[in-house]
Structure formats: structure tokens, C-alpha cells
Structure 1
Amino acid sequence: MELPGLAFAVWMFICFCVSVDGYPNGKVREACASMVPCHGSSPKLSPEHVITVNRTEFKPGDSVEVQLSGPDFEGFFIQARDADDLDSPAVGSFVLVDQRHSQLLKCGHTMNSAVSHTSKAKKKVVKVYWIAPGVAPERVRFLATVVKKYKTFWVKIPGPIVSQPNAPFSTTPSYTSEAVSTSHSISYLTKPFNASGCGNTKFCLRNPSNCDPESASCFFLSFHQEKRSVLIEMSGASEGYLAFALSYDQWMGDDDAYLCINEDHHVSVSTAYLKGRSPPVLDSKNALEDVSWRLADGVLQCSFRRNISLPTFKGRFNMNASYYIFLADGEASEGAAIYKHHRQPLITNGMYDVTGIPQDIGGSRSPRLIKAHGKLYCLALTSSSRSAETRELFSSLLQSRYFLLSFFHLRYIYCWIARSETVKSE
């Protein structure tokens, strides 16, 4: 199948242009389980906002006043969960006090089990009432995700615990924002990494061949196995983002992706999983450790470590298997919006096990869109009765500034031509 580079480009284009818009209207049901906004950034620690309640005990059917307050914030997401299992579904239901700034959402199978904002209007205080269900955990904790501005947010800020009468004392340690947070600490690389060890102690992919990752013109990715983990280094021009993906084929779908995004001179590192043709969702739990980055002399470098096997992290592939490797870069606008490739992604010509024999390889940047355009253009010229209009459409698609989306039109037109010829032959 042609166009693997284009497929990855389309994936990057669609997923980030969709996801980084966030949820300005508060319709955040996609984040019910993780409570993580799809903003492409890592959550902050040490929250500035607090949750308070008007009572510490409840019985089924009781009402508990819940208040979220702090410095001006744009968005919020409030739930109540079993205090001894914060990964469990939301429990109980809420009643609004101010419908102008808050709305009820259904998370899981329970109506009105979460509350969110209605707009980006700034607010300092949100008050709601939680109604205890007929069957409730003995201890319930309130959690809130707060968005101060697009790239500044806190996830699962822990609130007070309310308990049923005579509930046994729990030995579960008290949660802090750091314990609930989905982010690992991030540090700054004190010095740039280089290509030392490529082909000897670590597996490297770079373009041009034998280039120096300290140069902005070098597109670089390396893997170095250290016992049960792999240290990954990625480097390229600092103007936007760098991303790589592990794939079972040279086509979009079911891929394990990693991204380093330069957001106004601050780098965020994220993982994502692409299922089928759907836009990926950033992981609610971060599988990466020892995350570091550096911006200097026009070069973006980021490094991180992950275990070879991550059975508890959905969508993370085992590193000790063979995959095609995609490596892409491009521009990133405000809010980490990734939208434009300067060039086709780099794609390995074969499948590689990065934990196997160290190698130093390159990839292909063939203009696959142009090749596909040429093949289908010739097909339109020679075999379709609708060749004139097809040529015109192909030409306009290729010249369009939104050429990444042309792939879907190309597939449609190819099928249309084939169907026309089938009908003619009959």
C-alpha cells in the first residue's frame, strides 16, 4: 500500500488539530475516566485551588455542599469517587446552583454524576450540591480538574473525604496532588546528547546519514537498552514538535506514539495511542520516566525512559519486538497545536527491534503523495470516462494548502474510478 508517510502526516494533522481545541464549552465526557483535558501538555503540580464541603458525614440521599475556589480559572471538572479506589467510576449525582457557569454531565451509567464549566469565562468560585446515592461507598472523596488557562491545569485535585456513619477507619494513605497527578517530574538537559554509541551500544535512526544531533539540520532518534528499560533520545529543529511512532505496518492505525512539543520555549512530552482511523487520546497515566529536554541553538532535544514491557499501560507496545518506525516534525502553534509538516515523515524501510543488535540506519522521505497523485492521475487519463474532471480535482488537491487531507479524497476518487470501470466492463 502506498502513502505510509502521508498516513502518519494525516494522523498527526487530524489528532492534534482536533484534540488541542480542548473543551471550551465543558462537554468533557471523553475525559470522564482520566479527568485529563486533551490539551497536549503535562498537568501542573501543587494546585492553587481547593475543594471544601459543609459536612464530613452523609447517609444515602443526603445533600453535601461542594465548593471549588481559588484564583481565576476558565474550566473545571468535578466528580465524587470511592476514596479507597480513586480509579473507580464517579458515584452519586450533583445539583447545580448556578446554571450560567456550570452544567451536569453523565459519566459512566449515572446521570448528573459530574459537573463542568459552560464557557471559558473566568470564575473564582463554583458551588454545587452532591446527592449521596442509595448504595454508596463508605468513604467518598471529591476530585476536581482545574484549567487556569489552556496550558496551565491541574488534574484530580483531591478534596475532603466524607464518610457514612460508623465507617471503619481506612489505612489508605491520604492523597496529595502529586500522588494523584498523571505527570512525572521533568528536568532540563544540562548538556546536549550526541551520536556516540550509534551502531555499537544503541540503535539510531537519523537523517541525513551520520548527522550530528547537536545540529538543527539533523533528524535523530536513538534507543539504548539499560536492563529492563530503554532510554530514548530524540532531536531536531526547535521550531515546533518532534514525534515518533512504532507500527506493525507502514500505514496509519494501532500505533504507539511519542511526542515532544515546543510550547513557547517550554517542552512537553506525551504519549498517545492511535486506534484505527480515530484521533489518538493522550494517556491518562504517563508511562515515561526521567523526562528531560533542552532548547538551544535552534535544536530541540528530549530524552525519556520507559520500561521494555508495560502491561498496565494500554497502548504501549513491548519494546523488544520488531516495528516500522515513523519520525515526524513540524510546526506547533499556541496551545501545542500541531498542524503543518515541512516534509514527509521519515519511515524505516523495514521492521526493527530496537533492543536487538545496535544499528545506525536511515529512512525514506520519498514524496509518496506525488507518486500516488501521478499514478492515479495516469489512471484517470487512461481509463476513466470522467478523466477531465478527475484531472482537475487531483490538480486542485495537490496545490491545496490543506494537502494532507487530500488522501481521503484520493481514496474516494480511486474507488469511484474503479467502480466506473467495473460498470463499463459489465
Structure 2
Amino acid sequence: PTEPGFSQGFFSILHGKVEVACGDMTPQHDSDPSTKHPPFNIIADKSQFSPGDEIKVTLSMASSEGKHYFKGFLIEARNAGDLNEIVGSFKLISPGISQLLKCDNKEGSAVSHTSDSHKTEVQVIWVAPSDSPSSVQFLVTVARGYKEFWVKIPGPGVPQNGAAPPPQTTFGGSIGAQTTQTTTSTILSRSFTSEGCGGSKSCLRDPEGCDPQNDTACHFLSFSALGSSVTFELSGPAEGYVSFALSQDKWMGNDDVYLCIRDTDRVDIKAAYVFGRTHPIISSQNILKGIAWRLSDGVIQCSFRRDIHLPPENLNRFDLDQMYYLFMAHGRAEDGRTHRHDHQPLISTYRAAITGPLEDLTGSRSPLLIKYHGAFMLIAWTSTVSAGVIMARYFKPDWPERNILGQKVWFQVGLHRMLMTITVLLTLVGFVLPFMYRGGWSKRAGIHPYLGCVVMALAVIQPVMALFRPAPDASR
């Protein structure tokens, strides 16, 4: 679920699940809707209706000098006398490119796209309810891309039989749409510096001790409190964005996020929030002040101020007089939309007091559970299994006539059995740890988890085979 004050980023163009935008029909694309005349036609096949009637609604491309397609859409029918009231339900004609949505707790009360494929036309059927208003107004939001979209394009208004036609509305950017608040930004005249880290400001850096003024590979975050606000500086090499988050724990999810996103030759600075391991949801509320940015040699830098305490309506924003783990991440961006971070985020070693004592913090990109995973696998497959094989290969001739508990000395005392048992146990523990960290199967880890499953299976099969191995003096 999405909390008030937030909308799904990128209008969910990839899958069209845009119930969060049912009310204002506005995608949160970090920019305002286009005010150009929309190059689309919206047609209804009836000029009047009665309750229970079906009306075919067609959204299609009009003649246009630019792109001859659209990617995303949202179609609704509203009460022409009260445009806040969603009316009736829809049926699909082309389920391959359209899907029904549940808006205003009404099943099938809106239609959206299923993917970001290029479309030139979509048709749907609207079914008039038994309690239909005197007239309905069809409204459509259409997105060609992240930066180019139109909100609440008025389609035809259709009255009931015998009712007066509704007044015709004209397009002026949107009908009752809310626009994203913006703050004027400035360009930084010089690079950030690590001078003062631990003295006049707190810093988190990777590599440890690096200086963003001299090292373009330096990922850098600093913060310092002054009065009722905190100033943040963020820097790092990235193709699309750099970001940091305030978190109550070392797990991604329910975090207060701040992103500096490169958009061609400028940087957009946004506040966001993350619900679980999902795409950040950009805040529609303007909470950042003193915004400034810089682009140089592939490095994105940005700075801003944020009040320590925010009004209650700023949901999902953390108060800055508390202690939090700090996350730093970077990755690619396309048309202003961020993609998953390229590497594991840098996570501070311990919670930092944002407005507390100034510190030069340390962090790691390898979570403790993953470090244990690597250590256990390394010990198992380079140490214990090798020693166990050496015992079996070279120590059989020693004490050839002596047995302990019915087994040869090299097998019992020579540690072969014990070393192999330790190998299996270390492999088992190392195998489980990544699943504990990820909370399940990782779909982005490539072939590594599959190889791990094969290794785990072979490690278990080995002692099982040993149980069925005949004795040395057996006839088999």
C-alpha cells in the first residue's frame, strides 16, 4: 500500500498497476503534466445512454508531428456534475494491452495499460450503472514517457436519455490535477571536501578516508545541524543517480530516502520513501531547501537542507534528532527514473545521531551475514575438505593393523570423518545465511545461487554415499 502524499513513480508504466493514482489521475513523474494540446482522440460510440447500456470508448492517436504512439493510460468515467465521483464499470476489448482496476472500492471502475509497449489505439466498454447520474464525463490520462504525459484529458460528456448535455470542457494541462511543487536550485561553484569530517560535520565515505575534492571515485555523505535544520552533502560517481537513506535497521525497507538524479545536464533532488524492497516512492510534498548541485567528470554532487522536525502531514519522513543507520547507493537512471542500485549499498557500521556529536563514520558494503557466508564456504572448501582428502589419500598406510571402534586409525583418529562432517556442516550453514539475509530467493544474483544449490546437494550426497559404501574386506 502507498501512504497519502505519495504516488507510484513512473506511472507504473511497466505494469500499469496505478490504483494509487485513481483519485487525481496524476502520475508522480517528478515533473508537471504537459500543457500542449494532447495529440489524442477520445470518442464514445453513443451520444446518450440509459442505465445498463454499454458505451464503447476509444482512445487513439491524432495526427502528430512527434511520436506516433503512447505507452501508458488511465481511463475513468466521472459524474459530470461532480468530477470527484467515479461512475460505472468497464469491460475489456483488448486484454493484452489493457486491464481493469479497482478505484474508489469499485471493481473494474477504471482501465489502464499492462505494459510500456507502444500503442496507437485502445478500446474499452463502459457499463452504465443502475444509479447513473444525469450525465457522465470520460477522463483520460496518457503517458508517452516519464517526462511527457497529459492528465485528465476530457473526453466526450454523455447525458442520459432526455437529460441536458453536460457543459463541454476544454483541455488546459489537466482538470483539477495537482502539480508537483518545485524549488529553485543553484549550481555549486566547487566540489565538496572531506576537510572538517569529524570536526565541523559528520561524514560517511567509501573508500574510507577518501576526499571527493581530489578523488572522483569517492562516495561521500556529510551532514551537520545548524539551528532547526540539517545540511546534507552527497557526492559520488554514477551514471544516473546517487542516494542515501535513513533506516531503523540494516535492512532495506521503510526507509527515508533522498535521491540526486541526473537529468541530461542538470540534477533533480528528491525526497522519497521505500516500502520493503521496492522502487522508491517520490514525495509530492516539498520539504527540501537550499538545493544545489554539480556535475563534473562523471561525479554527481548535491546538497540541501531539511528541517529537523516536519509537520504531521509529511508522512514517512523521519525526525532528524534520532539515531539511524545510513545507506548510500548509486545506479543508473533513464528519463529521470531510477533503476536498481548497481552494487550493494554502503551501510554505516552503527547508528549515527544526525544532530548529535560529529563523527567520521565507517561502513561496509558487505552485510555481516554475507561475510559469514563467504567465510564458512571458504573454510569448508579450501581447508577442511582438502585436509580430509589428504588424510584419506596419504595416511592409510599409517598404523595399518590398528583399529579404533572398528575403524582404521586414519579414518577415526586421522580426522577424515570429522573433517568431512565439518565440511558438510559449514556448507549447510553457509548455504542458509544468504536466504536469511535476502528473505528468500534472490532473482538478481545470476548463476551464483544455482551453483550454491548444486554444491549443497553434492555435499549432502557425499556422506550418504559413504554410509552405503561396502567395508574394505566385503565381497563387493
Residues 288 and 304 in structure 1, CA contact (< 8 A), matched pair in contact too = no
Aligned pairs (5 A) from 1:167-246: 176=174, 179-182=177-180, 184=182, 187=185, 189=187, 191-192=189-190, 194-195=192-193, 203-207=202-206, 208-209=208-209, 211-213=211-213, 215-225=215-225, 229-246=229-246
Within 5 Å, give how 1:267-306 maps onto structure 2.
Answer: 267-276=267-276, 278-283=277-282, 285-290=284-289, 292-306=292-306
| 1:114 alignment partner, one of 84, 88, 110 | 110
Structure 2: which amino acid aligns with 1:237?
P
Q: Return the letter of the residue paired with 2:102.
A: C
Q: Does residue 17 of structure 2 align to residue 28 of structure 1?
A: yes
| Unpaired segments ≥5 residues, structure 2 | 1-8, 385-417, 435-441, 460-476
Q: Indicate which of 152, 167, 172 corresponds to 2:147.
A: 152
Does residue 329 of structure 1 match 2:330?
Answer: yes
Instruction: Name the residue aligned to 1:77.
Output: 74
- Tell me the secondary structure at the aligned position of residue 152 of structure 1: coil
State the distance in 1 between where 2:225 and 2:153 align.
37
Once the two structures are overlaid, the 10-residue window that deviates more, 56-65 or 299-308, is: 56-65
Q: Does 1:387 align with 2:423?
A: yes
Q: CA deviation at 1:132?
A: 4.9
Which of 330, 339, 342 is the equivalent residue of 1:340?
Answer: 342
Q: Matches of 1:407 and 1:366 in 2, distance apart?
A: 19
Aligned CA RMSD, in angstroms, stands at 5.4
Q: Residue type matched to 1:216 in 2? A: T
* SS of equivalent to 1:180: coil
**CA distance, structure 2, for counterparts of residue 359 and residue 389 of structure 1:** 44
Q: Deviations over 1:207-251 (max 9, x none)?
A: 443724575233222335566554433111133431211111223
Q: Partners in 2 of 1:85 and 1:313 — Cα distance?
A: 29
Which residue is equivalent to 1:14? none
Q: Structure 1 residues 180, 52: CA separation in 2 closer, same or farther (over 3 Å shift)?
A: farther
Aligned-pair distance for 1:106?
A: 2.4
Q: Deviations over 1:306-327 (max 9, x none)?
A: 4432533443222232111111
Alignment of 1:333-372 (within 5 A): 336-341=338-343, 344-354=344-354, 356-357=355-356, 359-365=358-364, 367-368=366-367, 369-372=370-373
Give a deviation string over 1:39-64, Cα, whole Å, max 9, x none.
xx534532442676779999866759
Residues 269 and 136 (structure 1 numbering): CA distance in 2 closer, same or farther, change over 3 Å?
Answer: farther
Q: Identity percentage over the alignment?
A: 30
Change (3 A) 1:230 1:157: farther
- Describe the superposition over 1:248-289 as per-residue Cα deviations: whole angstroms up to 9, x where unpaired: 12233332222334466564545443344x424524635554
Contact 1:51 1:159 in 2 (8 A): no
Q: 1:392 to 1:357 in 2, by over 3 A?
A: closer
Amino acid at match of 2:142: V
Counterparts of residues 56-135 of structure 1 (less than 5 Å): 67=59, 71=64, 72=68, 73-80=70-77, 90-95=86-91, 99=94, 103-108=98-103, 109-117=105-113, 120-124=116-120, 126=122, 128=124, 130-134=126-130
Q: Which amino acid aligns with 2:329?
A: A
Length-normalised TM-score, structure 1:
0.65
Whichever residue aligns with residue 327 of structure 2, its letter is: F
Q: Which runs of 5+ in 1 are unaligned?
A: 1-18, 418-426
Give distance in 2, aligned partners of 1:23 and 1:139.
31
Say which one has the larger Rg.
2
How far 1:113 sits from its partner (Å)?
Answer: 1.4
- Stretch moving more, 303-312 or 318-327: 303-312
Whole-angstrom distance in 2 between the partners of 1:141 and 1:217: 55
- Summarize deviations over 1:144-186 as a string: whole Å, max 9, x none: 442213x3343744537969979xx9xxxx9847952346357
**Alpha-carbon distance, 1:67 to partner:** 4.8
- What's the CA shift for 1:361? 2.0
Comparing 366-375 with 59-68, greater Cα deviation is found at 59-68
Q: CA deviation at 1:107?
A: 1.6
Number of aligned positions between the proteins: 381
Q: Distance in 2 between matches of 1:197 and 1:137?
A: 66
Q: 1:384 to 1:394 in 2, by over 3 A?
A: same
Q: Give the distance between the partners of 1:57 and 1:20, measured in 2 at CA.
A: 36
> SS at the partner of 1:350?
coil
8 A Cα contact 2:42 2:156, kept in partner = no
List per-residue Cα deviations over 1:380-412 (Å, max 9, x = no partner). 9578848369759979x99x996589699989x
TM-score by length of 2: 0.59
Q: Tell me how far 1:362 sits from its aligned partner.
A: 2.5
Verify: 1:46 aligned to 2:47, yes or no. no
Hey, what's the Cα distance between the residues in 1 that align with 2:198 and 2:35? 45
Contact 1:272 1:283 in 2 (8 A): yes
**Alpha-carbon shift at residue 374 of structure 1 (Å):** 0.3
- Distance apart, 1:364 and its partner CA: 1.9
